[in-house]
Amino acid sequence: MTDNLTILGLESSCDDTAAAVVRMREHGAEILSSVVLGQDDLHGSFGGIVPEIAARAHAEKLDIAVNEALNHAETSLDRIQLVAATAGPGLIGGVLSGVMTGKAIAAARGLPLVGVNHLAGHALTPRLTDGLAYPYVMLLVSGGHCQFLLVEGSDRFTRLGGTIDDAPGEAFDKSARLLGLSQPGGPMIEREARGGDAERFRFPRPLLDRPGCDMSFSGLKTALLRARDEVIAEKGGLTRRDRADLCAGFQGAVADVLQEKTRRALTEAGRILSAPPALAVAGGVAANQLVRSGLETVSSEFGVAFVAPPLALCTDNAAMIAYAGGELFRAGRIDDMTLAARPRWPLDQRSPSLLGGGKKGAKA
Ligand code: KG4
Ligand code: ZN
């Protein structure tokens, strides 16, 4: 019965209300629909996500997203065989909305329910998109997440390292704000950096002098602020050229840190497994060309495959939750009406989360 499993996935842990229908086959899976209703218009004027507004919007939009997902998939709840909902980590109001909706649908239809860790959804995406075999190293880099995971199974994750403060996307966004650029800051900084001189300003490479795969990005934003203020003090303002050079310097530092820490993560995984595994990346920052080419370079140095899923599936979506729910269900996981919403939920229980809630919730 589980050879062809049709799953409804729900995601509401941050600022995207998402629903998707995924069909798992014996080998591989097919995304029948994936609906993501963003909330940028609701939070834009606040300069960050307002948890209370996000929670209310999820509660209002989840049923709309579910209906759209079923319609796009040309199916109905009668044909759904499993409900998978993000049960954490994230902003608790949103997670609760998704878990309650999942429970309601499962109870009303007599369907099995699986609560999915949002980070597991990201971490398993290369299997959904590219059929990547276990084991592999996943670098999650977004506005809310930054960590290296050794992925050996649908519920076997070893956290090799992560940020001790800001996530890189968060640092891009805050830095863009310091330069008067619009949000989201990552793409704006990448665009401005195109003509810039990355060597003009000295940006630090935080934590590269220490062993291991932990990272820190908040100091880069402070370095950018200091460099900006020095230029302003000297010339009375910033020229386009100054801004381009600041962006290029900042972006170069982030890319360098991610590249070198990826080397270390693959080395560490190679020690654990006796050979380095494939490398995969997910999260909005994976869209950055310099970051991406740095990771490609590392994977070819190690002679391992590099998988970067399409951007729409790198960022928050419910197809990844449906797929992860399907893998977990096949492995024997099933939840009931006691399923709890968890604001913090580290994937690797032996390695608890590091500092910082971040603007988009727990970095776990
Ligand atoms: O994965 P995502 O859509 O949302 C979560 O954070 O969960 O990632 C969004 C983040 C934002 O911080 C955005 O500035 C960053 O990804 N981002 C980029 C680029 N495109 C998006 N950062 C650097 N370069 C880019 N091209
Ligand atoms: Zn995410």
- Distance, CA of 279 to CA of 285 (rounded, Å): 16
CB of residue 309 inside a 6 A radius of ligand 1: no
Assign 354 a pLDDT band (cuts: 50, 70, 90): low
Q: Write down the pLDDT at residue 46.
A: 67
**pLDDT at res. 360:** 47
Ligand 1 in reach of 172 Cβ (< 6 A): yes
Q: For residues 113 and 103, what is the distance between their CA atoms, to the nearest angstrom?
A: 7
What's the 287 CA to ligand 2 centre distance in angstroms? 14
Q: Which residue has the higher pLDDT, 243 or 57?
A: 243
Q: Which atom of ligand 1 is nearest to the CA of 14?
A: 7
pLDDT, averaged across the chain? 92
Predicted TM-score of the model (pTM): 0.91
What value does the mean pLDDT take over residues 293-308? 98
Residue pLDDT, tens place only, 193-212: 999 999 999 999 999 999 99
| Res 364 pLDDT > 60 | no
Ligand 2 centroid from CA 337, angstroms: 25
The residue whose CA has the least distance to atom 16 of ligand 1 is: 284
Residue 80, pLDDT > 90, answer yes
pLDDT in tens, 101-142: 999 999 999 999 999 999 999 999 999 999 999 999 999 999
Give the CA dihedral 131, 132, 134, 137, nearest 10 degrees: -150
pLDDT over 90 (residue 76):
yes
Which ligand minimizes its atom distance to the CA of 167? 1
Whether 223 shows a pLDDT value over 90: the answer reads yes
Backbone torsions φ then ψ of 120, nearest 5 degrees:
-65, -35
Say if residue 14's pLDDT is above 90.
Answer: no
State in Å: Cα 169 to ligand 1 middle: 5
Ligand closest to 177 (CA) is: 1
Higher-confidence residue: 333 or 59? Answer: 333
Ligand 1, from 172, 254, 257, 281: best to mutate by most atoms within 8 Å of Cβ? 172
287 ligand 1 Cβ < 6 A: yes
Q: Which two tokens stand for residue 80?
A: 């759904």
Long-range contacts of 202-207 (CB under 8 A, 24+ apart): 202/249, 203/227, 203/249, 203/250, 203/252, 203/253, 204/253, 205/253, 205/256, 205/257, 205/260, 206/257, 207/164, 207/257, 207/261
Q: pLDDT grade, residue 355 (50/70/90)?
A: very low
H or E segment to which residue 229 belongs: helix 218-235
User: What is the 115 CA–ligand 2 centroid distance (Å)?
Assistant: 15
Task: Report the percentage of the chain scoring pLDDT > 70.
Answer: 94
Dump pLDDT digits (tens) for 284-293.
899 999 999 9
Question: For the chain, which domains are there?
Answer: 5-130+315-330 (3.30.420.40), 136-304 (3.30.420.40)
Separation of alpha carbons 142 and 162, rounded Å: 12
- Around ion ligand 2, which residues have CB less than 5 A away? 316
| Confidence check: pLDDT of 358 > 50 | no
